[in-house]
Amino acid sequence: MSASEPIAPADRTTYSKEISRNRRKSFGLLTFFVVLILLVGIAIDVLIGGGLYIAVFAFVIAVAMAFFAYYKSDAVALAATRAKPADPVEYRRYHNLVEGLCIAAGLPKPRLYVVDDPAPNAFATGRNPEHSAIAVTTGLLEMMNRVELEGVLAHELSHIKNYDILVSTVAVVAVGAIALLCDIGLRFMVWGGLRRDRRDNIDAGPIGIVIAIAAMALLVLAPFAALLMQFSLSRKRELMADARGVSLTRYPPGLASALRKLQTDQAVVHQATRATAQLWIESPLDREEGHKGAKLNSMFDTHPPLAERIEILESM
C-alpha cells in the first residue's frame, strides 16, 4: 500500500481512540506533577515555613511558563536548533513525501524545516496538528533513501497526530516548575536555616525528626522522580510512534533500515541540548559518553535503545 492511499475506517477509529487515550494520559501526567508540587510545598513549609506562599509563587511561574510553552514551544525549539524553512524546490522530495503521508493520515501539512547539520536526525514540534512543524537535518536527507526517509517522516507525523508534542511540552514545563521549587526550598534551608518554631517542632521528638528528614529527602528526590516520569513517558511514546508510523507507510523495513543507519552513525547534533533531546527521533546527544560505566544512566535516557526498536519493527 502506498503512503498516499487513505487509511481504512478501522484504522481511523484506532487513531481516534489513541488520541483520546493520549489526552487522558496528559491529564494524568499533569495531575501527578501538580500533586508532586504540592508535596514539595508542604515539605518546604515543614522545614522553613512559608512553603505554601512559595508554592503559590511557583504555580504562578509554572502557569506563565505553560502558556508560553503552549503557544511558543515550536518557535523556541526551531530557534534553538537554528532550523530554517525548507524551500519547496530545493527540498522537493521532502515536501512530496510529507504531503503524501498527510493525505494518508488525514492531517494538515505541517510547516517543514531543515537544520544544517551532518548528523542524521529529525523532530516534530507544536501544540496540535494545525500548529505543528517538522524539522530534519541535512545529514538525514543525504543519508536516507526514499523509503527510509518516508519511514522517519511517518514517525514524526505520528507524534503530531497522537498529540505527543503537547504531552512533551506539559512534561518539560512541569519538571522545570518542580526543579525551581525544590531549588528555592533547599537554598532557603541552607542559607537561612530552620526557623525557630520549626526547630522547636523538630526537636519535640522522634516524629518531628522523621518528618524533617522525609521533607528534606523529598526536596532532593522530587526533581529526579519528575525526570524519570518524563523520560519513561518519552520512551513509550517513541515506540508507539514507530508502530503508528509503520501503519502509515505499510512498510516496516523502511523505518527499520533508517534506524539501523542512525544506530551506525555516531555523530551528534551540534545544536541539540538535553532540554530538546526528547523531541528527536533518536537521542541527538553523545550516546557513548552518556553510558560510560553506568547502567543506571539508561533510566534517564529519553529514547528506548535503537536495537530494541529495530527488533520490534523486524517482527512486524
282 and 303 Cβ atoms separated by less than 8 Å: yes
Provide the CA 123 distance to its chain's centre, in angstroms. Answer: 10
Asked if 288 is an active-site residue, the reply is no
Alpha helices in the chain (DSSP H): 9-48, 51-80, 92-105, 138-143, 146-161, 164-192, 196-202, 206-249, 252-264, 287-290, 306-314
Q: Is 259 within 8 Å of 308 (Cβ atoms)?
A: no
Please give the C-alpha separations between residue 186 and each of 113, 137, 215, in angstroms, as whole numbers.
Answer: 42, 41, 10
Residue 303 has which C-alpha cell?
529514547
Residue with grid cell 527521533, as numbered in its chain: 281
What whole-number distance in Å separates Cα of residue 265 and Cα of residue 253? Answer: 18
**What are the phi and psi torsion angles at 70 (to 5°)?**
-65, -45
DSSP notation for 135-158: EEEHHHHHH--HHHHHHHHHHHHH
Q: 3-state SS of 225-289?
A: HHHHHHHHHHHHHHHHHHHHHHHHHCCHHHHHHHHHHHHHCCCCCCCCCCCCHHHECCCCCCHHH
Instruction: Name the active-site residue from 148, 150, 156, 238.
Output: 156
Q: Where in the sequence numbering do the catalytic residues fall?
A: 156
